Amino acid sequence: MTFINFKKLLLDAEISLPKFSKLIKVSEKNIQAYKAKKEVPNTIAVIATCFSVMHEKGIDYKDIVNALELQAKTKKGAGFAKKKKTEISLKASTDTKTQE
């Protein structure tokens, strides 16, 4: 789905992009990044389509989503631990070679 079609669906669902991202607990920055790619992932397309259809049928999708008690993902820096181990290994091997 194109980003333009996605935005149209949000209009149909009467929800702004910032409110959409807050409701589904995804960073607005991440959603805005799809604008540069000119398309949105399938999951985001499905969510926006469902919101639009539900709104059209008079179903309050906001209450349904809020009842899920979604949690925003947080960065934990998992990639940094691997980098540190690699740096330590390289330093250790360099130290060993200089001692030989």
* 78 lies in some domain: no
* 96 lies in some domain: no
pLDDT at 37: 94
| Number of separate domains in the chain | 1
* 100 lies in some domain: no
For residues 22-35, give the mean pLDDT. Answer: 94
* 79 lies in some domain: no
Domain residues for 63?
3-72
Q: Rounded to a whole number, what is the largest CA-CA distance in the chain?
A: 77
pLDDT in tens, 71-99: 998 877 656 555 555 555 555 555 555 55
DSSP 56-100: HTT--HHHHHHHT---------HHHHHHHHHHHHHHHHHHHHHH-
